Amino acid sequence: MKILPLLLYAVSAVAYAVHFARRDPAIGRAATASLLVAALAHTFVIGMQTMEVRHIPFASLPTAVSTFVWLLTLSYLYLEISTEERAMGVFVLPIAVGLQSISALTPGVEKVDPVLDSPWFWIHVASLLCAYASFALAGVLGLIYMLQFKEIKKKHLGYLYNRLPSLLTLDTMNSRAITIGWVFLTVGVVVGVLWTAQARQVAPDDPNLRAMSLDDPKIFFAVLTWAVYSFGLFARRRLGWTGRRAAWLSAVGFIIVLLNFLPIGYFVTTSHTFQ
């Protein structure tokens, strides 16, 4: 069942690539329609998994990655429909296909440790996934901004310039994505602290809970991510860091998110892992 969204995302990626190359409105509408079908199919899969385990599936890393891809897709569709700009799809869909491939090809059992049976935990994880989806969009927008900036700097307005949004539009969308992501990340971090304190009272002898601190790589990188994006928002509002500086910061922040989400999540054993 997890293969179906992957196949549909791959079809959408091809459609967006063809649209980017040809700039044909009919192909663009077909690309949007195919992505809507992919998102609906993914929603159905997640709904079935939710009915099976009685909560949104993100307790195991493969299901968390799949839920992240779903949120990223919905966020991008909102951005596309609200701005009527499809050029970003050719950059977003390869990320969705790559991450969904990891999720679809990696076995994952949604087995929840009893200590995680708390609404605080689910709010914590859901907030972080929403934040990461927003930061993914911001990272892509930052990359597109740099590509467009270099195209304009060459003073030879060609292939990319005619296909990418204006620098002002990209910078505005980047700022909104980072702001939304920062709000969700702040909620996720604060709720995570509250949940940890509550869980330590319920299960004081749990070794994972006792070991959770900034020494844990996942916790350290989560706090580092919050610090990077907090500085980005401060720098934009107080230091005038817009445009290229904001684009670079969003790219660096998303690299940190990916490091925490994939290599550390899959290959590093931490106290933050309850599987």
Rounded Cα gap, residues 260 and 245, in angstroms: 23
Rounded Cα gap, residues 21 and 90, in angstroms: 10
Classify 122 as helix, strand or coil: helix
Q: Which tokens sit at 189? A: 């971090």
**pTM of the predicted model as reported, rounded to 2 decimal places:** 0.88
Residue whose entry in the numeric block shows the structure tokens 């319920």: 202
Q: Which tokens sit at 207? A: 């070794």
In tens digits, the chain (275 residues) has pLDDT values of 678 899 999 999 999 999 999 989 999 999 999 999 999 999 998 888 777 766 666 667 788 888 899 999 999 999 898 888 899 999 999 999 999 998 888 765 555 566 667 788 888 888 999 999 999 999 999 999 998 998 888 777 778 888 888 899 999 999 999 999 999 999 999 998 888 888 778 777 776 676 677 778 888 888 899 999 999 999 999 998 899 999 999 989 989 888 877 777 666 666 565 55
- Contacts of 243-246 with CB under 8 Å at 24 or more apart are 243/145, 243/149, 243/167, 243/171, 244/145, 244/146, 244/149, 246/142, 246/171, 246/174, 246/175, 246/178
Rounded Cα gap, residues 97 and 17, in angstroms: 13
Residue whose entry in the numeric block shows the structure tokens 């290599």: 263
